[in-house]
A = this chain, B = another copy of it.
């Protein structure tokens, strides 16, 4: 029989007769809705292989997955894209609970955006069971739904002390998930965290893996993470459970991007040595180096105390936050003990308060560490001010020029190109604004709809008449689109449907210099100007509104400007220099994740230089319920706005002119409130950063702040602005 198989039947026939040393070659082409079970028994000398006829030309699409069971097996060269698995695992190293894989390898495979369209429906892409398996030189990018990219399970004795090797893989972009379950890697679970896994994770490249706080979640014993690169990842390598982890020779590159993090230490006997951390801007649990407080006699699923940590010879350059005793609260009362921080360099000439100490750190011995002269030492000895010169090495990283320091500045990490496969591109196309063509659109019924339907991503739709542009259909926003005009008088848009724009999965919207009236909309409660798809969107979207006027959003009750659906997530919503008048609903209603599972509807919310007049609802309703600590949003910036009679509608359940629940960062300053409802904010989880300053609350109650009572409320006034 030929080793090349073209159908499922041929595969199964061939599989039934393979002998050690044989190969099964999958024919090039699309294997749609294909669920393979590769169960066979090779030998150490003569493995059995499942390989692509041509690397990268065998494509699994639709509802497909692969299970591997037996021993001495190798899978090479397959691609999974344009689909998702209906099971929980795309590549699984087991047939079922009984039949696992051993001494087997998956190499040079690709899984690219093989994501369940339901963003909160969980699955894991690669799951290792058994022992002595290897996943290497593979490419895993664009996982957009909940669940871990690569998991090692220890859920039976056959899968423990497994000596798996995970190396030279390319972990491509992972967008912010906005909830727990966005890890790029997890080894173990809390349940088996006192068991050794003995997995080795080396020479992988993590490229913009920013799903959640934990880029890597270590949850078992005796694992090694070495020679990996973390490139602009907004999270940390977290030793969440398990003891005896070795983290060495890794490179963390933040490039001064917000929220980029390094290493978070929890539990016993952890070694963190000789790592390079540059330009990491994250703080709190996303700091460059975080040593957590734990719980005395912690239950297996809670935070273990840091005992006998050895943190040595790490170089932190231009990274802003080292957090010690982090997470100290009523439950986490056990500070680090029997631990050492030695021979590290903490160099940041711009941030003096590099260290934050949250609890007693007398259990950490500091010795022979160097700090830049500006940095404020937190202990009397062991942190020595010393000026060091840095220069870029061949990778462009800043490295001390002196030889006199007791650290070796070679890290032995791969370039991006040295990981994954050569035959699959590592760049993802960005869904950017204004990179496409400009369509000049005249005034006619549905002309804007027609232009949107004919557009491509990044296109600009320019309104060249004064209007009114009328629409009897919603404008679908299926990719990045900009609607703008250059007229001195903003052109008017009116519409008859329940929304003017519907942002669908993959879409992003920018509006500039337009006037939008709701006066012609359907007589229906719950209309909007912009809505998301009512279905799950597993692509994060952006919405930018600049210099626009909105009026007559009062056809019926609950008329919102932005109305989002559950299971959608905005990377950013920005509203600037705009006017809103007569609105019966909210300006942005982003409060649909009511399951209190730490999920929310948007990361960065920016509201600047706007005028809001006669708004019955709030200007933003942001909800993040529950106590989950996996995420850090939403972030709210709100300044220089005027709120004139906002928030008094009887259907405004929050009773606030802005209503915030669990919003992690709130920077609210220099706004003028007039005869409006108060700010209503409920603070929960971690350490929300709340600054409400320099506002004028004229004939407006002072902010109502419930929950945690840590906030800054100062320099606010209540002065007649004498506008009339």
Contact = CB atoms under 8 A, between A and B. Distances in A.
A636 to B, nearest CB: 23
Nearest to A118: B534
Contact of A87 (B189, B472, B596): B472
11 contacts: A86-B473, A86-B474, A88-B472, A88-B522, A96-B445, A122-B524, A146-B524, A525-B595, A526-B595, A526-B597, A534-B536
Contacts of A122: 498, 522, 524
Contacts of A558: 595, 597
Nearest to A525: B597
Contacts of A717: none
A596 B651 contact: yes
Given A535-B534, A558-B597, A88 B497 contact: yes
Given A96-B470, A474-B86, A523-B189, A567 B497 contact: no
Interface string A592-605: 00111100000000
A88 B496 contact: yes
B121 A498 contact: yes
Interface in A514-534: 522-526, 534
Contacts of A522: 88, 122
Contacts of A473: 86-87
A189 B87 CA distance: 51
Contacts of A496: 87-88
Contacts of A472: 87-88
Contacts of A416: none
Given A189-B523, A536-B534, A597-B525, A87 B121 contact: no
A48 B122 CA distance: 59
Contacts of A594: 594
Interface in A665-724: none
A169 to B, nearest CB: 24
A468 to B, nearest CB: 11
A613 to B, nearest CB: 25
A121 B526 CA distance: 10
Interface string A560-572: 0000001100000
A712 to B, nearest CB: 31
Interface in A128-151: 146
Interface size class of A (residues with CB under 8 A): 35 or more
Interface in A478-514: 496-498
Contacts of A87: 472-473, 496-497
Interface in A615-671: 651
Nearest to A567: B534
Interface string A180-199: 01000000010000000000
Contacts of A497: 86-88
A270 B541 CA distance: 55
A181 B498 CA distance: 14
Contacts of A96: 445, 470
A32 B567 CA distance: 32
Contacts of A567: 534
A120 B567 CA distance: 18
Contacts of A474: 86
A498 B87 CA distance: 10
Contacts of A524: 122, 146, 181
Contacts of A120: 526
Interface in A425-470: 445, 470
Contacts of A88: 472, 496-497, 522
Nearest to A449: B86
Interface in A179-230: 181, 189
A473 B524 CA distance: 39
A154 to B, nearest CB: 13
Contacts of A597: 525-526, 558
A524 B146 CA distance: 10
A465 B120 CA distance: 34
Given A534-B535, A596-B651, 8 more contacts: A86-B473, A87-B472, A88-B497, A525-B597, A526-B595, A558-B595, A558-B597, A566-B566
Interface in A73-98: 86-88, 96
A57 to B, nearest CB: 28
The 3 closest A-B pairs by CB, nearest first: A87-B472, A86-B473, A122-B524
